[in-house]
Structure 1
Amino acid sequence: MNTALFKIMMVCVGFVCATGCKQANQGIVIVPDEMQQKVDVLYDGQLFTSYIYPDDLEKPVLYPLRTAKGTLVTRGFPRDPRPNERLDHPHHIGLWFNFGDVNGLDFWNNSYAVPVDKKQAYGSIRHRTILDIQNGKQEGQLTVAADWTDHTGKALLKEQTRYVFSGAGDWRIIERITALTAQQDTVVFTDNKEGLIAIRVDRAFEEPSKEPELFLDANGNETNVPVMNNEGVNGIYRNSEELEKGDVWGKPTRWVSLSAEKNGEAISIAILDHKENPGYPAHSHARGYGLFSTNNLGSQVFDKDAPLFVLTLKPGETVTFKHLIVIKTNGYLTDEVLNKLSQEFFSH
């Protein structure tokens, strides 16, 4: 996040500074641990999140995510299951970025649950190296490289992603800038609902469920999501067009927020799109069962009257995506604040 965006965040939080908004003492410190295949991100010495890339995951992810108070906002399953969690969609872990149709390969739904004899239909994202780490009082940066591969290990895309971590008082912010470059073959992203940047949230952020649900992925595989105990479940989605709850799904929007109370803590999470992204404004792929996703590469799949969205990269061509993730505690994010953040995000 550039200095201008940090300043607008401070303007947005100015009216709550009396409740404890302060500058970081230690700031952001990023600690790589090659043996554990992770990079910890600390804010004032406390764990905010970790970039993890273990061999048994089909993509690198940020996991877990915490508020400024240390409260978990991401689901534990399948890495660290917690009581009363849903056990569906094992490919939903932390905060991630991938897509359901890249040269016909499904990167989104790949996980340990896919049988070996079906892996040829799926793609994986493999961490390659850490390119840069920068610590700082206001922000810290982590830049990494990865390959998008088919089941044989052939790279379709080279990925370079820069994470910019920042915070102040009750706020934590992640800016993700991802550049994808086609390698030997032309790469085609074809309209698909499974994408693009997503968070699988903690149970408290789900919408209360009243009946079982059945979901199909792009390959026609079924996932049953059962009715569960709704105690403490109170999540509410809202987008920049003032739509709420289930009406958010499939709609183009500049930002989507998800708010809930967890153990007496009022928390909001938001994903902001950038005007320079392909497919802006992105369609929301946010589900009441806990999938919070924003999709720049799906259009007709959400609106049958829209044209088919296809993004083609010839060998050597690059596409870049920018997204902002905001986690706010001690009070919910308002439309006014999110619109200010969105406007400033657009300016850089």
Structure 2
Amino acid sequence: MKYTCYIVSSLLLATTYFKATAQTDKAGQAQSVKLVPSEKDKRVDVFIGGKPFTSYIYPDVLKKPVLYPVRSSTGTIITRGWPMDPRPGERIDHPHHVGIWFNYGDVNGYDFWNNSNDVRGHAGPFGTIRHQKVNKIVNGKEKGELYITADWLTDKNNALLKENTRFVFSGNNTTRVIDRITTLTALKESVLFKDNKEGLLAIRIARELEHPSDKPEKFTDAQGNVTDVPVLNNEGVTGHYLSSEGKEGDSVWGTRAGWVVLSGRIKEEPVSVMIIDHQKNPGFPSYWHARGYGLFAINSLGQNAMSNGKDSLNMRLAPGQSVTFRYRIIIKSGGHLSKSQATEESKAFSNK
């Protein structure tokens, strides 16, 4: 996959802006947020306190828009580099796992989750999410906002869904926050989100935040295709999940929770990554598609596979009907989020 030129141009853009606008803030004080769009490069770069945080990117090489890479407040990258920008020692499974993304495994029979330029072993048919336009950018002293529109397309290029998403970015000296509010509207035909374990909001995290593993794994997708995940050197691998229901480690997968925190260290930096469900979301509290090998996902619509058939949710939208999903991602540096802190963060988001 040809990503090299794209990555080099993005790094140059981020470096240039950082040198021109770097600033410091007191711990806890909200930092200014600036978004810099480049339609030519198919990206919007996000800076908090003058430092590169993430970029909303939509190159043709990807089958959906993503936030990539994603950094802590110190500049440490917390997302996997491969396949966009490979780093030594990383896993090279699941090429469709890039940065932070939002899609689903079965929409009117189309697989939006597994689609990539390197599809192997997946039958399809595949759907593609194509960015259409940036509707509005708001820069501010305490937050920045990005409003975008995208189309969910079939393999025949027919639009099933219109997506309108609002991103809200904020942060201080130790924390970065992303709110994603996404509204999906069915277009000319009824749209069925068939109960599927592969969805909905996901992060592919850096190797250091994976769970240490001493045995190979085999993971099967919703169509029965198997991906082998081998044992790698666990040196520096420190991740550990904790859910609002007290589940820990690999036990979080396939359980309901209002929030999940993944904590670990990247080199000497303690880092926590938290995803919060919102009480207004369909299927709340969500099931979690959180894997020890680095996939950290919340699936509001997939219940059957997660519950061994005890629950089921097949959501259908009539033409013109909409549904909205609200999620918050928190990235804390310099310390780990405790259960009590995570609970307070969840309450604050639910009140929005």
Q: Same fold (TM over 0.5)?
A: yes
Whole-angstrom distance in 2 between the partners of 1:226 and 1:200: 17
| Aligned-residue offset at 1:307 | 2.9
Flag as ranges the 4+ runs of structure 1 deviating above 3 A: 117-120
Whole-angstrom distance in 1 between the partners of 2:311 and 2:229: 31
User: Equivalent residue for 2:21?
Assistant: none
Aligned residue type for 2:92 = L
Distance 1:317 1:254, change over 3 A: same
Aligned residue type for 1:95 = I
Whole-angstrom distance in 2 between the partners of 1:218 and 1:286: 15
User: Equivalent residue for 1:185?
Assistant: 189
| Aligned-residue offset at 1:118 | 7.3
Whole-angstrom distance in 2 between the partners of 1:157 and 1:319: 11
**Please, what is the CA RMSD of the aligned residues?**
1.5
Distance 1:155 1:197, change over 3 A: same
Whole-angstrom distance in 2 between the partners of 1:122 and 1:49: 27
Pick from 59, 62, 66 the counterpart of residue 71 of structure 2. 66
Q: Is 1:131–2:135 an aligned residue pair?
A: yes
Whole-angstrom distance in 2 between the partners of 1:145 and 1:52: 13
Pick from 321, 324, 327 the counterpart of residue 325 of structure 2. 321
Task: Tell me which moved more, 187-196 or 299-308.
Answer: 299-308
Q: Is 1:80–2:85 an aligned residue pair?
A: yes
**Equivalent residue of 2:343, what SS?**
helix
Listed one character per residue, the Cα deviations across residues 114-173 of structure 1 (whole Å, up to 9, x for unaligned) are 27x977611110000000100001000000000001011100000000000001120100
| Aligned-residue offset at 1:60 | 0.1
**Equivalent residue of 2:342, what SS?**
helix
**Equivalent residue of 2:340, what SS?**
helix
Q: Is 1:198–2:202 an aligned residue pair?
A: yes
User: Equivalent residue for 1:156?
Assistant: 160
User: Equivalent residue for 1:4?
Assistant: none
| Aligned-residue offset at 1:219 | 2.2
User: Equivalent residue for 1:33?
Assistant: 38
The answer to whether the 8 Å contact 2:122/2:225 transfers is: no
TM-score, normalisation: structure 1? 0.92
Aligned residue type for 2:112 = F
* Aligned ranges 1:42-61 → 2 under 5 Å: 42-61=47-66
User: Equivalent residue for 2:278?
Assistant: 274
Whole-angstrom distance in 2 between the partners of 1:207 and 1:278: 29
Aligned residue type for 1:67 = S
**Equivalent residue of 1:339, what SS?**
helix
TM-score, normalisation: structure 2? 0.91
**Equivalent residue of 2:247, what SS?**
coil
User: Equivalent residue for 2:27?
Assistant: 21
User: Equivalent residue for 2:266?
Assistant: 262
Whole-angstrom distance in 1 between the partners of 2:203 and 2:288: 12
Pick from 293, 299, 305 the counterpart of residue 301 of structure 1. 305
Give aligned pairs, total: 328
The answer to whether the 8 Å contact 1:120/1:151 transfers is: no
Whole-angstrom distance in 1 between the partners of 2:49 and 2:172: 10
Distance 1:331 1:118, change over 3 A: closer
| Aligned-residue offset at 1:211 | 1.0
Whole-angstrom distance in 2 between the partners of 1:40 and 1:305: 42
Distance 1:323 1:211, change over 3 A: same
Whole-angstrom distance in 1 between the partners of 2:90 and 2:124: 31
The answer to whether the 8 Å contact 1:253/1:281 transfers is: yes
Gaps of 5+ in 2: 1-24
| Aligned-residue offset at 1:23 | 2.8
Percent sequence identity over matched residues? Answer: 51
